């Protein structure tokens, strides 16, 4: 049953990733920089930090919910394999500057977003007295 929850969440996350990434890329003119993938990675990292903090607090969530959301939805939503492919494509195309920018922004902003999400939820929990 756990694998079913992960599979359903993964399908949902993959569809959300596709919709957000392609619409962002289209909205920004579809240039050579993979801004859609970058946005998905940063939002996925922000959600991961916030949800891990929320799930660690009082009133812990059921294991099925944790698996559905963190492993399934966010596992399908975040795109570091796509990130690696996009960066490789930039390198193969001789665009080292954009490849380096994608590498630094995805990792730096992703780590910062995990920290921010975790801190925000931790502070909200503390302010609420929970």
Alpha carbon distance 29, 123 (integer Å): 38
Contacts of 112 (CB under 8 A, 6+ apart): none
Distance of CA 8 to the CA centre of its chain: 17
- E-strand stretches of the chain: none
In this prediction the pTM is: 0.81
Token digits for 19?
A: 């919709």
| 31, 51, 88, 122, 125 from 128: Cα distances, Å | 44, 17, 45, 10, 5
Contact 72, 1 (CB under 8 A): no
Dihedral of alpha carbons 108, 112, 115, 118, sign: negative
Give, for all 130 residues of the chain, the pLDDT tens digit: 999 999 999 999 999 999 999 999 999 998 889 999 999 999 999 999 999 999 987 778 899 999 999 999 999 999 888 899 899 999 999 999 999 999 999 999 999 999 999 999 999 988 876 5
Token readout for 53 is 């903090």
């Amino acid at each position: 049953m756990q694998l079913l929850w992960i599979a359903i969440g993964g399908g949902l996350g993959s569809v959300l990733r596709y919709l957000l990434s392609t619409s962002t890329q289209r909205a920004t003119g579809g240039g050579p920089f993979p801004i859609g993938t970058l946005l998905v990675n940063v939002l996925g990292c922000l959600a991961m930090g916030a949800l891990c903090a929320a799930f660690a607090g009082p009133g812990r969530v059921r294991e099925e919910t944790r698996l559905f959301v963190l492993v399934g939805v966010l596992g399908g939503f975040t795109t570091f394999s796509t990130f690696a492919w996009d960066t490789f494509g930039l390198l193969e195309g001789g665009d080292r500057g954009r490849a380096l920018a994608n590498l630094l922004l995805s990792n730096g902003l992703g780590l910062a977003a995990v920290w921010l999400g975790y801190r925000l939820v931790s502070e909200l929990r503390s302010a609420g007295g929970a």
